[in-house]
Amino acid sequence: MVLIGGALCGGAAGAYIALIHDLPEIRSLEDFSPSMITRIYSREKIVLAELYTKKRDPIPLEEIPAELQTALLTMEDRKFHTHPGIDIKGVARALLADIRAGGFVEGASTITQQLAKTLFLTPEKTLIRKIREAVLALQLEKRYTKDEILELYLNQVYFGSGAYGVKSAARIFFDKSVESLSLGECALIAAMPRLPSRYSPLVNPELAVRRRNIVLKQMLAVGAISKAEYREAADEPLRLNPNSGKSIKAGYFVDYITDYMESELQDLLGSSLLYKGGLNIHTTLSMRLQDAAEKAITEGLEELEKRMADRGNAEPEPQAALVAIDVQTGAILSMVGGGDYEKTRFNRAVNAKRQPGSAFKPIVYACAIERNIPQNKTILDAPVVFKGSKTGEDWLPKNFSETFSGEITLRKALSLSKNIPAVRLIDSLGPESVIRFAKSMGVESPLTPYLSLALGASGCSLLEMTAAYSVFPRQGKRIEPFGIVEISDNKGRTIWRAGPEKAIAMSREGAAVVTNMLEGVVKEGTGRAAQVLNKTIGGKTGTTNDYKDAWFIGFSPGVAAGVWVGRDEYRSLGKFETGSRSALPIWIDFMRTATAKESFRYFDTPDNVVRVPIDPDTGERTPEDAPGSVSALFIKGSEPKYR
């Protein structure tokens, strides 16, 4: 008998050791660091988005309302403060029920057991897993206080709809801090852990309210709340987070900087730190300007769609993009990559390579200005034939107006967006030299070395074109546009700070002259509608063949902004949907807000640049008060003299 008893004891001990031999070390909890939420902020400290693998946001127990703690214990574990980690009577009762049913029908898990399962085990329902869970629970109770266990549980348990922990649940369900939850809201959250996917108020609000009221009734039964408190909380209407389905603001911009962090900052952050480390990403985006940009895009597309519908040309729907940059710093102030982020997340401000049409011309003219060609130089606007890109073929560029002006100044040719003078100019400069100059301005897309480059035949992104334009009011300096100012860790320590790339793209004098020419586009040419802003403005329209792309890119002394309108399928927007008709109104609406707080000021005029009145047709100098004269800038020594 002694031998048999010893064998049984040995067998039991062996079985126990086999069950627990690979259990995790409970002391590892002392070094446990839960996955935390990374937040992306606008410059006004508004949360744009949250990045996480599990939306878990730890909070100390003392900041969690007593009503929420009581509600949870009432529903999940009333003997929490007295049991050693497992409820012996509950286990026996559940075991009997399981035997009768022939399977698992009753869990009998204490909060400590649930925590052990959440942290260390799989959710499978087997007897072995339950034993391992109980062993871990006993170890937890020996090593940690009840408050420590409850705090960890409340910060770890899943409450449904992507919320891990009570702080995230309060924010996701009610858009509130935990401290400001009502009794009814505390009861509703406490009802979630049993079946979170089913009871979530965002999934099934009626069932969630019924579960809430069950919790309240149980709290009343144990004397945790009064009858008056019960009635008030049970009658409380469900006020859910109105933005629960819109967790991301400025979605296109958030995607842009997230892509940047995942690619350019991979060595520093990695996916683990980015999505689990609780980082704070401080960005350049202004929500005031972002709201204005989104509104301008929405209203501009609505007007365009009405015109298209009137012509029977409504499908497929048009798209639009807008990006704005701080002229002085290169910081991206706003970014919209399409008409509706929820419908299409393709970012047309960054990833679409569309022909800019005449919006590319200022780069050609800037290259000429840098070659010491003054803006009053005349060039022939008349029919011309060039050799085509293929042997034996001819190319005959045409003006949009299908009219010709004869000898015309560079200034007027740009302001009226004449094609033939631009082609003649690039022919004299050489396409390769213009490409080199464009790259120094920040145009990184591949450009073909053909004369048609002057007419914007090579695809570019809206962001790079807008960045290139910002060089002009920035006195010739190129700054790589950037969207992140600083990244700090969950302790607030800075781990990365922006250091934008800077370079001299063109001379300060040349930049001032081109800026003046683009002011002429607004005052004298295709951008006249922008004068309604009553601000110092320069810019250029762009329209491609068959009205497939419409552009306007322009700037004030403080903000450079670009707008593109078109269809993803490269189909026509409709006859006469030019840059001035489709894109410029959106730009004006946005810049009305963007320039509202700018004090009136002029663009930079270097000391060795002079302002001279000229005849825009002949380029000759005129008296100050001569009718039809315009004020033009020249590098000293190149200005026209009185005859």
- Same domain for 229 and 373, yes or no, is no
Decide if 126 is inside a domain. Answer: yes
What is this structure's pTM? 0.76
Query: What pLDDT score does 273 carry?
Result: 83
Is residue 76 part of the annotated active site? The answer reads yes
Domain count, the chain: 3
- Same domain for 92 and 229, yes or no, is yes
Decide if 502 is inside a domain. Answer: no
Decide if 240 is inside a domain. Answer: no
CA neighbor of 86 nearest in space, from 122, 112, 121 = 112
Decide if 582 is inside a domain. Answer: no
Q: Which of 50, 67, 76, 236 is catalytic?
A: 76
Instruction: Find all residues with CB under 8 Å of 304, minimum gap 6, and list them.
Output: 318, 565, 573, 577, 582
Domain that holds residue 140: 65-234
Is residue 524 part of the annotated active site? The answer reads no
Q: How far is CA 272 from the centre of its chain?
A: 20
Domain stops at, among 214, 234, 254:
234
| Mean pLDDT by groups of 10 residues along the chain of 643 residues | 43 44 53 72 93 75 94 90 79 61 57 77 58 79 88 85 84 91 95 83 88 95 95 94 72 92 84 81 98 98 95 87 98 97 90 97 98 96 87 88 92 97 97 98 96 97 98 98 96 92 96 98 97 97 96 98 96 95 98 92 94 94 91 95 77
Query: What pLDDT score does 37 carry?
Result: 81
Domain stops at, among 196, 213, 234:
234
Q: Domain of 393: which CATH number? A: 3.40.710.10
Instruction: Find all residues with CB under 8 Å of 303, minimum gap 6, and list them.
Output: 585
CA neighbor of 594 nearest in space, from 564, 563, 565 = 563
Q: Helices marked H in 475-599 — which ranges? A: 508-524, 584-594
Domain stops at, among 179, 202, 234:
234
Q: Domain of 223: which CATH number? A: 1.10.3810.10
Decide if 575 is inside a domain. Answer: no
Decide if 131 is inside a domain. Answer: yes
Roughly how many angstroms between the first and final C-alpha of the chain, as a whole number?
131
Decide if 159 is inside a domain. Answer: yes
- Give yes or no for a contact between 443 and 465, defined as CB atoms under 8 angstroms apart: yes
Decide if 445 is inside a domain. Answer: yes
Q: Distance between CA 435 and CA 363 in Å, rounded? A: 9
CA neighbor of 418 nearest in space, from 448, 397, 446 = 397
CA neighbor of 421 nearest in space, from 432, 431, 408, 434 = 408
Q: Which of 35, 109, 200, 358 is catalytic?
A: 358
- Same domain for 227 and 80, yes or no, is yes
